[in-house]
Structure 1
């Protein structure tokens, strides 16, 4: 065993007590004891100091809170190049000074506070650095001398100020994650940032406070930029710019997420995004038409353009996106007619939302769609008068409120075995609610209720507004109405309770505060009653003691 070089016992312990004899494994080069769940408390790792040949050490998930500082032991391992102590309950942040580390993961610890600007000075060989979820604050620490760095993760901290200009020195970066901090700008702009990193493949700046113009270009925008960038995410910031034209030169982009900002202007033509798989520009203030060129993005699987100010018609070319599974164009000002041609090759489509536009949906009554949807949201669309037949072969979520359907609810809906949510409110449906809807297999009968005649039934949400309901079955009250009534009743209940308390409390206390004579009489009465109770208790206690002595 002394010749052992590789030992992997990861996820093997519900405790963290290790035999000191392991220190005899002097030829060991790889030691993996990490736990994907919080392991026990480490009581001693002094034996690790004897593993002088160790190159790889992973003790993530083990709790060092009671043991103290493991760096005192780790710092004397001369050959160590890979160190992972993620989620170990560490709180004193300092780094081994005598090691030539290439990989360092100290994520998910409780270091807090700012990071000293000199702490990384001697770690010039570092290629992987993960300090995510450590509660750091202040400016991003100076790491400009880490020119070999390929992976850097500072996400989920409280770094503020800006992304420093010296990031241009980190030309070897491949993956950079700065999301969920308090960063306000990128010094030099995003264009310069990307151009200085020829190997960068992924950049995430989601959930920051970016508000200055990061898309603007100082000087010429010509030249090679982001030739390897595949993932660019700047979701949920405060960007108020127009989308730059240079974005289309990122030819290898697979994911572009700029949603939940305040971007304005039009969407640039995208002939070059031939590798794009996910595009999310939702929740902005974009105007103009949906580019016809989107139909050439042959591998696009996710398209989110909801909650903008887009107008014009939905281009027919979208029907050629054979890999598309998620299409959300809701809450815009789109108009025109949607027909079979818009879905001609969308065989993989699973989620469709074109709600809250000015769209008319016109397809052949016998149309058989090429897809099998899990969720359809077409609220406020204009359909024909009859309930669409093609929908009867779909879905898990069906929202068709605020249309002009008339006639009865088709009983074929009961054959939608996957249906979980049905919303047909604000239509002109008549007749009976099909009784079979109460026996849908996948409807959750525990958490959702329907109200009919004031009685709670065990049906899933059935949101129907009927103009006329002949026959023995009474109309169901819509869930919005019942929720509103419930809220009003709760508010009235609390108001009555508060009024009762105020009147009862001040009806007694208020009189005693303002009527001195009444206050004197009240306290005299309370004193007499207190004395009387005291005398009764004393007499009874003495009598009880006498009886106990006689017994």
Structure 2
């Protein structure tokens, strides 16, 4: 006797690998009590199968064609199951014409997207993310029929070609096409999808400009666009002034796009007015790294970004001082300005109580590192290497850094001034203190770090009379050159 105590594995075997004989048969309703199965209280038909794998992929031999006999099914979720002997998404799924929800993400490792899915005219939710890897293929033209779609995820596949088949999905709110090989220009008609709230075009081969028609997407909250090759950046020749119309925008990612060739693309003066008005006030995430941005950041930059949680402007050509207004955004959890040409000192950062990631490495910052950094109890990554910092590093710099796992202060002129009895509050995984003065004896506090995977203390002024400490043998990478270890 099968009952609701059976696990998902039993449900897979009975409903997918065997012949299902329950659709509409009121005398054979025991499967309606199984976990993941829902039947209509009126007709007894199976209307919902939610058999998704949670964290682990569950391997199942095949999908039986009998699944196509569940004609009243309106919800099917098989996500995360690896169907090893099913060559592709079975076309017979398109016979389930009552489907409103279909999730086959992370299911298949080859095959093609069957164009017959375009027959599911009532479909509102379709997720085929990370399912099709056989060979490059285009988005089926039949998808143009899916005018009721609200959610469409085709990310992480080998899709090529353009986006023209998606431009009449007027109900669409969520569209994820990231991590494919889509090419050509972005069709202006995407700007007619007025219900769109989430648009992700990251890691494709799209070129040309972002259409000005995007100004019509007043409800857009998430916009992600990037190229998949650093050497072949997407060209943006427009000034993107239309962004000022997107007053609901919360997440903006423009990465690996050639902004330096666009007119008015310097982060200085009033050249980005769309960022300094209503859009800036609503932004939670701003990612504009790897774009060859030049100029300085205006002093008022942080004053309007009151809700910002992540700011990444890494790997650009920005210069001048980092405006103090940035260090007053108390909501920041990540600040990455690494690999630019910033100069000047870093003020007291103790107000940034939510900060988890701070990366200012590979700039030209100077002066002493303020002890207030030691108050950032949520900090997990502190990367200040390859700058011109000078002065002492004391225990106060780390007093409350209980969550720290990565520390990089390398290639500065810094001297560690801590007690031999000091026990740090953290357990580091990666330590890079190359060219810091840690000597003359081997730092005792390093003996407390039993989770080290990578350690670089080369050129650290250490003169030790013993061998390299044995506790470092568990680390996968250890660099201790240009010190004096005497056996």
TM-superposed CA distance for 1:264, in Å, is 1.2
**Separation in structure 1 between the aligned mates of residue 254 and residue 81 of structure 2, nearest angstrom:** 27
Deviations 1:419-443 (A, max 9, x none): 444333212333x1xxxxxxxxxxx
Deviations 1:193-229 (A, max 9, x none): 6543233222222333332415353596764333332
**Separation in structure 2 between the aligned mates of residue 38 and residue 223 of structure 1, nearest angstrom:** 50
TM alignment of 1:90-109, pairs within 5 A: 91-93=137-139, 94=141, 95-97=143-145, 99-109=147-157
| Structure number with bigger Rg | 1
Higher RCO (CA < 8 A, seq sep 6+): 2
SS of alignment partner, residue 317 of structure 2: coil
The residue aligned with 1:56 is: 101
The residue aligned with 1:84 is: 127
2:463 to 406, 414, 426: 406
**Separation in structure 1 between the aligned mates of residue 415 and residue 323 of structure 2, nearest angstrom:** 27
The residue aligned with 2:267 is: 215
TM-superposed CA distance for 1:308, in Å, is 0.7
Residue 180 (str. 1) matches residue 227 (str. 2) = yes
Deviations 1:288-339 (A, max 9, x none): 11132x2210011111111111111111211111111211111111111222
Residue 125 (str. 1) matches residue 171 (str. 2) = yes
Residue 254 (str. 1) matches residue 305 (str. 2) = no
Deviations 1:236-255 (A, max 9, x none): 23222322445412222222
**Separation in structure 2 between the aligned mates of residue 417 and residue 384 of structure 1, nearest angstrom:** 21
C-alpha distance 106-224 of structure 1, shift in aligned 2 (>3 A) = closer
SS of alignment partner, residue 461 of structure 2: coil
Q: Which moves more between the two structures, 379-388 or 255-264?
A: 379-388
SS of alignment partner, residue 391 of structure 2: strand
Coordinate RMSD, CA, aligned? 2.9
**Separation in structure 2 between the aligned mates of residue 273 and residue 347 of structure 1, nearest angstrom:** 22
Residue 168 (str. 1) matches residue 215 (str. 2) = yes
**Separation in structure 2 between the aligned mates of residue 157 and residue 377 of structure 1, nearest angstrom:** 35
Conserved? CA contact 1:362–1:384, under 8 Å: no
TM alignment of 1:433-444, pairs within 5 A: none
The residue aligned with 2:246 is: 197
Unaligned runs of 5+ in 2: 1-22, 25-44
Residue 239 (str. 1) matches residue 297 (str. 2) = no
The residue aligned with 2:29 is: none
Conserved? CA contact 1:17–1:42, under 8 Å: no
TM-superposed CA distance for 1:348, in Å, is 2.0
TM-superposed CA distance for 1:157, in Å, is 0.9
Conserved? CA contact 2:89–2:114, under 8 Å: no
TM-score by length of 1: 0.69
Deviations 1:129-165 (A, max 9, x none): 1222331112112201011111111122101123333
The residue aligned with 2:404 is: 349
Q: Report the structure, 1 or 2, having the larger strand content.
A: 2
Conserved? CA contact 2:63–2:83, under 8 Å: no
Unaligned runs of 5+ in 1: 433-551
**Separation in structure 2 between the aligned mates of residue 64 and residue 332 of structure 1, nearest angstrom:** 46
Q: Report the structure, 1 or 2, having the larger helix content.
A: 1
TM-score by length of 2: 0.77
The residue aligned with 1:426 is: 482
